[in-house]
Structure 1
Amino acid sequence: MTNADFRSNPDNFCYRHPERQSFVLCQRCLRTICPECQTQMPVGVICPECRAEQQKQQHHTAKVTRMPRRRAAGLDGRPVVTYGLVILTSFMYLVGLIPGLGDEVKSWLAFNPQLVLVQPWSLVTVTLVHASIWHVALNMLALWAIGRSLEPLLGRWRFLALYLLSALGGSVLTALLAPTTWVVGASGAVWGLLGAMFVIGRHLGANVTTIAVILGLNLLITFLPGSNIAWQAHIGGGLVGALIGFVFARTRAIRQQRQQMWLLIAIGVGLLALLAVPLFVYR
């Protein structure tokens, strides 16, 4: 798809704000809506027109009457998952600096492939542990920069699933290729966000040159001599992120939500199944 095709396709833009690109559909009318036009519902989001129609058909309960005020405050479009992950990860880094307690927390959260059966949670909690202030600062800066654009595009739960599954993918590839290597950091998850953004952008016909350059530079830095970077986690997270981005791009419609959910579950189960390889081969 060319940029001209992309711009001429209204499905790629908010129907109320044609200049705003979005990846989220109203769950009732299936029209594309930007963060400003989204009202969060128990399942998915709806556009202003569908919200008004729904309110006419329902009695005005306290919960319903609070929703317009929340929309007016502009809270629905905020990347709250991104901010939450940045705050939580930064907090855990500060906890890791506490003498005595910090080392215990790091050993409990960091990923060691040889301890995966004892500490299975470390497959994703590895994102909460970092080696230095520069390590956590660069990862959180990248998460903040990417998440502010990608989370409103995908929605909160899709974004969180992408982040966690990408982290899992990085841990699994590390277990497969470097079974004696300790891993810390959110780099695998961040690479997954980049991979998904690249694939989704290509699907929508957007210009993804900047993302490709960032991925290329990060790949170059990863393999620099003496970098001491777990490239397996980066590559694993990026590949899983790209796969999930493809799933999101191909299952946009509301009628495909159940299919999308099962595909994400299948990816998670498949990654966990791959852990059987190092457990039997390298034991």
Structure 2
Amino acid sequence: MNDLPVSAANFCYRHPGRQSFILCQRCGRTICTECQTQAAVGVICPECMKIQRKNAPRTKPAVLTRLTGSGQPTVTYALIALTVFMFVLQWIPGLGITQRFAYVPALTIVEPWRMLTSIFLHSQGGLPFHVLLNMYALWLFGPMLEGMLGRGRFLALYLISGFAGSVGVLVLAPFTSVVGASGALFGLMGAFLIIQRGLGGNSKQLLVLLGINVVVSFIPGIAWQAHLGGIVGGALIGFVLMRTRRPNQKGVQIVLIAAVAVLFVAIAALRILSLLAPVG
């Protein structure tokens, strides 16, 4: 038996003292057992493996793909998650989440953000009944509307409706403190009703559900003023969306949605001025 010829090419390029006759499938360099990585065909060296990993397409975890993939109601899921998270924080002693972020009309001038932050808080009386009921309603209506409108429009509808609900409280019950997403949810129902009727759909079931919720709104302890403000805000947004459906009306649509928000800001400002005006 003849000995194989000894050459620098027969030694691992990373470990010169190790003889090998295995070549990298990509670059052709000699590599020892330690430096080999199994490929689909043959083996590759560490440098080629590094390049392969760098150029490989990045994929999301399966859970994130299901939650954020195309067609998924990502905003709905995010709103539910944020609301539940805030409800958990409300129960932690010392944080004072409810006191710091509930809507108190008397504090509107100095802490106007409460008009929005309050929609992510819920009553702690009756344990989680309030938040569970509202999040169930959001889970029912959210995916449908988000799929119809798109994520941006849906989020705008939810937030403006919630803000309109706070304006309703400021106008009709300025000495009442409130929490809850009901104003925003009534806004979703109001918008859905306008859109469904505009598209010629059957809205009888929705009208029945809306009627039941209106009746429930007058149970003592429930801020019907927020429900009223929310449904008016949602209906206005729904009307704008129906009238600006064509692709070439996108700019007009954005301006009109912003105008609805400005309208409620103006109503709130006028109400504050009337409350500050001296009596007599």
Taking structure 2 as the reference length, the TM-score comes to 0.73
> 2:146 & 2:71 partners in 1: Cα distance?
9
Question: Quick check: 1:198–1:208 contact (8 Å CA) kept in 2?
Answer: yes
Per-residue displacement from partner, 1:204-238 (whole Å, max 9, x unpaired)?
Answer: 001111110111000011113xx311000001000
Question: Quick check: 1:108–1:119 contact (8 Å CA) kept in 2?
Answer: no
Q: CA deviation at 1:270?
A: 1.1
Residue number in structure 1 paired with 2:89: 95
Match of 2:77 among 78, 83, 91: 83
1:237-248 to 2 correspondence within 5 Å? 237-248=230-241
Residue number in structure 2 paired with 1:282: 275
Match of 1:235 among 214, 224, 228: 228
Q: CA deviation at 1:108?
A: 1.8
Residue 183 of structure 2 is aligned to residue 191 of structure 1: no
1:170-181 to 2 correspondence within 5 Å? 170-181=165-176
Provide closer, same or farther for how the CA distance between residues 94 and 212 of structure 1 changes in structure 2, counting only shifts above 3 A: same
> 1:231 & 1:72 partners in 2: Cα distance?
37
**Structure 2: gaps of 5 or more residues:** 1-54
Residue number in structure 2 paired with 1:25: none
> 1:189 & 1:251 partners in 2: Cα distance?
22
Question: Quick check: 2:165–2:230 contact (8 Å CA) kept in 1?
Answer: yes
Question: Quick check: 1:179–1:278 contact (8 Å CA) kept in 2?
Answer: no
Q: CA deviation at 1:254?
A: 1.0
RMSD between aligned alpha carbons?
A: 2.3
Residue 116 of structure 2 is aligned to residue 121 of structure 1: no
Residue 214 of structure 2 is aligned to residue 219 of structure 1: yes
Provide closer, same or farther for how the CA distance between residues 254 and 175 of structure 1 changes in structure 2, counting only shifts above 3 A: same
> 1:71 & 1:186 partners in 2: Cα distance?
28
Max Rg structure: 2
Provide closer, same or farther for how the CA distance between residues 210 and 62 of structure 1 changes in structure 2, counting only shifts above 3 A: farther
Counterpart amino acid of residue 135 in structure 2: M
Counterpart amino acid of residue 79 in structure 1: P
Counterpart amino acid of residue 99 in structure 2: S
Taking structure 1 as the reference length, the TM-score comes to 0.72
Residue number in structure 1 paired with 2:161: 166
SS in 1 for 2:163: helix
Per-residue displacement from partner, 1:111-169 (whole Å, max 9, x unpaired)?
Answer: 11110111111111111110031110000000011001110011000000000000011
Residue number in structure 1 paired with 2:245: 252
> 1:73 & 1:110 partners in 2: Cα distance?
30
Match of 1:268 among 241, 249, 261: 261
Counterpart amino acid of residue 235 in structure 2: A
Question: Quick check: 1:176–1:277 contact (8 Å CA) kept in 2?
Answer: no
1:48-67 to 2 correspondence within 5 Å? none
Runs in 1 of length 4+ with deviation above 6 angstroms? 70-74
> 2:211 & 2:188 partners in 1: Cα distance?
15
Residue number in structure 1 paired with 2:3: none
Question: Quick check: 2:67–2:73 contact (8 Å CA) kept in 1?
Answer: no
Counterpart amino acid of residue 222 in structure 1: S
Residue number in structure 1 paired with 2:102: 110
Percentage of matched positions with identical amino acids: 46
Per-residue displacement from partner, 1:6-42 (whole Å, max 9, x unpaired)?
Answer: xxxxxxxxxxxxxxxxxxxxxxxxxxxxxxxxxxxxx
**Equivalent pairs, count:** 216
Work out which structure has the larger RCO, using CA pairs closer than 8 Å and 6 or more positions apart in sequence: 1
Q: CA deviation at 1:73?
A: 10
**Structure 1: gaps of 5 or more residues:** 1-60
> 2:269 & 2:241 partners in 1: Cα distance?
28
SS in 2 for 1:81: helix
Residue number in structure 2 paired with 1:140: 135
